[in-house]
Amino acid sequence: MTLLTGLINAITAPIRIIFFWIMQCTPGLKKLPGVSLPMRLALMTFIFLLIVVTTAVVTYSFSDSATKNYWQWIVAALLVFVIPVVVYYLVKISMQKEESKFPDIDRIWATGLDECARQGIYINNVPLFLVQGARDHRQASQLIRASQIPFSVTVPTQEDSDIVFFANSDAIFLFIQGCSCISRLSSAPTGPSVAPLSQPTQRSAPAAHTGTIDASMFSSPQGAGPGAPAAADIGQTLAEGAFPPPLPAAVPAAEDIGRTMLLPEGQAAGNYFSAGPAVHAPAVPQLSSQDITLRDQKLRYVCKLIRAERQTLCPINGLLTLLPFELIESAASQIQTAAQKDLAILREELQVRCSNTVLVTQLDKEEGFQELINRVGEQRTRDFRFGKGCELWNSPEMVRLDAIATHAVGAFEDWIYMLFQEENALKHRYNSRLFMLLCRVRGQFAENLRVVLARGFGFDPATEPQLAQEQFLFGGCYFAASGADPSRQAFVKSVLMKGIQQEGELEWAPAARKKDSQLQFLSNLFVLLGALSLLSILVMLILRFVVWK
């Protein structure tokens, strides 16, 4: 089979080259791949019939019965034009879809494509990125606003829906919050796993965050504060950050200093710490079988729409997965399972390997993260990512992703320790919030993040060797805040820009390459048959008018 394929490829190579240059030199033929399938089939039918009828006319024009059967040639000439029209409508009717199971998705999809077309944006000419894990339309809109990237198309604008379009001339971001299991988990209510022992404090909002930011790059000289410029190798001047006013003190005035801390009367220490309000059991979200089945069908349907609109192109150019901070703390095993299900469907339906970046969101609820942003500075949070990247073409094995999770959490430790080393750092009012944030991320969150990344987005080469060539490439794990207020938005822009910059870093999956080879073989076979037919016609004409003259 391999020998036959190579032989046919070698024979048809000159023919393909000739047709390639014909398409390059003939005006309008370059647009042929963008023509609809019914129109392409109609054009091919017309060309085929035209060649056949012309050959027949030339061959039999000098026969004795040529003038007697002239009406047959008139009918044949009419059929040359009628048959392609019939072919066009038959193919178009056969391609019409039955009544969709998801009319809302169809409506938004059609509206989004129409709105993009009005803006001169076409889905088969612009990189397409899928975003899964958003809770709802509101979170998707907040994330886009936090990126500070202008998008000229937003469909739908307000209603909560299964998919949302955000598009400009550089990229299309398609949020599939109603189609993925991860999004279903994100929309489920969760509670904090740990509460402070002292009087509860109100959570406030963080500021803005966006780039892979390394504490060693920005080590401030002695006397430098949060508003000081960054190190010289960055080449940027930091503007004074516009952050919310100082947060209220979490602990009342120290009027009881000097007293001995006593337990409530008649209560033992073990009972106090186990029964007190300090520790809350988190509301762990669960996916029912109905949820899984419904979202499986919706995700496959969206993938089908994408494939149909982006024929001959890669279905998507990148994938962004949003994971809520609190959800990682409370439901690591559920996230792992949901990620495996979603990625398995995307691999099967799209058959492409591209960048998959994890973005931990909803850190705008963490007051320690807000304090970190305030101290780091506004421009750094706008222009850099916070977390840990990954060499894209390294195999996403479990061991590697486990290490990436450890380094991503280590970014908190690096920055908080660096901030504590600044001059007069101990005089800052909210150092305790930074320390509490550090303790929290180094606890259950760090362990759960390792499990989620390694088992949800990686693979074990010993038990899943086939995923070495199929699993999505891993782009990194980053942290961001995307609250409703600009002061609660941080570290988003650079993550999205990184995805856009990596839009060409992809490859077809083995199944897609195998199918392409089979189709290429059939194509070359038909090209060879066509060439032999054309050669036979030329030989017949030469024999008719030259040899047998």
Residue 543 has phi, psi (to 5 degrees) of -65, -40
Range in 84-88, 112-116, 232-236 the model is least confident about? 232-236
- State yes or no: pLDDT of 301 exceeds 80: yes
**3-state DSSP helix/strand/coil percent for the chain, to nearest 5?**
55, 10, 35
More confident residue, 14 or 389: 389
SS3 call for 496: helix
Place of tokens 């606003």: 145
**Contact present, 490 and 210 (Cβ < 8 Å):** yes
- State yes or no: pLDDT of 399 exceeds 50: yes
Residue-wise pLDDT tens digits, 244-268:
333 343 444 444 444 444 444 444 4
pLDDT at 117: 92
Give the pTM.
0.74
In the beta sheet, which residues pair with residue 353? 507
Q: Side chain identity at 174, as an amino acid letter?
A: L
More confident residue, 388 or 67: 388
Place of tokens 């960054």: 230
Residues in the chain: 549
Residue-wise pLDDT tens digits, 29-66:
666 666 777 888 888 888 888 888 877 777 676 665 55
Q: How far apart are CA 255 and CA 303, in angstroms?
A: 63
More confident residue, 320 or 224: 320
Beta-carbon contacts of residue 211 (< 8 Å; ≥ 6 apart) = 380, 383, 384, 385, 386, 491, 494
Q: How far apart are CA 481 and CA 147, in angstroms?
A: 10
